[in-house]
Amino acid sequence: QVQLVESGGGLVQVGDSLRLSCKASGRDFSRYSMAWFRQAPGKERKFVAAISWSDDSTLYTDSVKGRFTISRGNDKNTVDLQMNTVNPEDTAVYYCAADPSFRLAALRPQVMDYWGKGVLVTVSS
């Protein structure tokens, strides 16, 4: 059974740092790109960051560039999202997802093969 399990969410203050982790199991994810999406209350799910299985290249949405860093464990079954200098606009449920494509620009919620259940991040001002 394939599972993606996120952890690390919680309540933080503006300017704080937070690290989300995702553990994938149930199959070999070494040839799957991993991504983080987020969904704010009342909004659609949006892309945040991704890391390619082919060369570990990364892609970020503009609003998190320079603040968030996506990284992958050596076993390829874990992916982290380091979130620095958070602001209230980062408040959302964060989802980990996996897809066999290595073209990060093509990763959208509609195409991802596997999803975690999400973890809530709340940034308080």
Q: What is the pLDDT of residue 105?
A: 86
Token pair, residue 76, equals: 């390829």
Give the Cα separation of 27 and 16 in Å (integer): 35
Residue 118 corresponds to which amino acid?
Answer: G
Give the Cα separation of 85 and 123 in Å (integer): 10
Query: Binning pLDDT at 50, 70 and 90, where does residue 8 land?
Result: very high
Q: What is the pLDDT of residue 76?
A: 85
Token pair, residue 52, equals: 């390619």
Chain segment 20-31, per-residue pLDDT in tens: 999 999 999 999
Give the Cα separation of 120 and 10 in Å (integer): 6
Torsion angles phi and psi, residue 105, rounded to 5: -65, -15
Chain segment 55-92, per-residue pLDDT in tens: 999 999 999 999 999 999 988 899 999 999 999 999 99
Residue with tokens 């704010």: 40
Closest by Cα among 86, 68, 81 to 125: 86
Q: What is the pLDDT of residue 95?
A: 98
Phi-psi region of 76 (alpha: psi -120 to 50; beta: other; left: phi over 0): left
Give the torsion sign (CA, 97, 103, 109, 111): negative
Q: What is the pLDDT of residue 117?
A: 98
